[in-house]
Amino acid sequence: MDFLFMDFLNSDWRDWRGTGRSEDRLDRQGWLESFCARWKLEAPLPIDAEARKRLGELREAMRRMIEDLVHDVGYEPADLAVVNQALALAPSHPQLVKGEAVGFHLEQISSVPGWPLVTSQIAASFADFLVHEDIRRLKICDNQDCCWIFYDESRNRVRRWCEDKTCGNLMKVRRFRERQKTRAAAAEDEGKKGK
C-alpha cells in the first residue's frame, strides 16, 4: 500500500548499502515534480524557500513521531503541534457536488492553493493513517544505513526490511559473516587452549 506521507518521508534518502551517502530529495526539483505528479498535487516549481523550510520541519516532526511510536515511547507534543500547524495551513470546507449520473456527494474544498495546500495534504495523509490504519504496520527498515519507512502488509506483521531483495539480503549476508567470524574466533581460542 502506498501512502502520500510515506512517500514524502522517504525523500530523506540514505544509501542502504552503507556507503554513508544520503540525499535530501526535497532539494531536487525533478523529485518534487514526479512526487506532485504521482499524487496529483499542484504546486509551483521551483519551490519557494519558506515552503521548503516548512516541508522540512513537517518531515522531521513526522519522522520523530513515527520513531517514538515504533519504539513505543509516546510522542513529543511539539511534534504533534507541527503536524497540526501544517493541517491548519489550508482550511477547507465541504462542498455539495452533483454526481455525473445520479445523486450528489460532498467534496472537501480549500481556497488555499500551492505549497501550503500540499503541505496540509501531506499532514492530512499522516493524520488519516494514524486515525484509521493499524499503526503497528508502520515500520522503519531495520538496516541502520537505510531507515526507509514502509507499511508492513505481511499477515503477522513480521517484516523487518523495506525490501527483502536489498536490505533483507544485505542483513542476511552480514549476519552470516558475523557468525563465521565468531566461529573462527572460537576455533582459534580452542586452538590456543590446546597448546
Contacts with Zn ion, residue ranges (CB under 5 A): 16, 141, 143, 146, 148, 162, 167
In angstroms, the CA 32 to CA 120 distance is 16
Q: Which residue number, 87 or 146, has a Cβ lying nearer to Zn ion?
A: 146
In angstroms, the CA 79 to CA 85 distance is 10
What residue has cell string 548499502?
A: 17
Residue 112 near residue 89, CB atoms below 8 Å:
yes
Residue 148 Cβ vs Zn ion, minimum distance, rounded to whole Å: 4
What residue has cell string 533483507?
A: 168
Residue 104 Cβ vs Zn ion, minimum distance, rounded to whole Å: 45
Residue 24 Cβ vs Zn ion, minimum distance, rounded to whole Å: 18
Residue 69 near residue 135, CB atoms below 8 Å:
yes
Q: Which residue number, 58 or 149, has a Cβ lying nearer to Zn ion?
A: 149
Residue 118 near residue 43, CB atoms below 8 Å:
yes
Q: Which residue number, 121 or 143, has a Cβ lying nearer to Zn ion?
A: 143
Q: Which residue number, 26 or 146, has a Cβ lying nearer to Zn ion?
A: 146
Residue 167 Cβ vs Zn ion, minimum distance, rounded to whole Å: 3
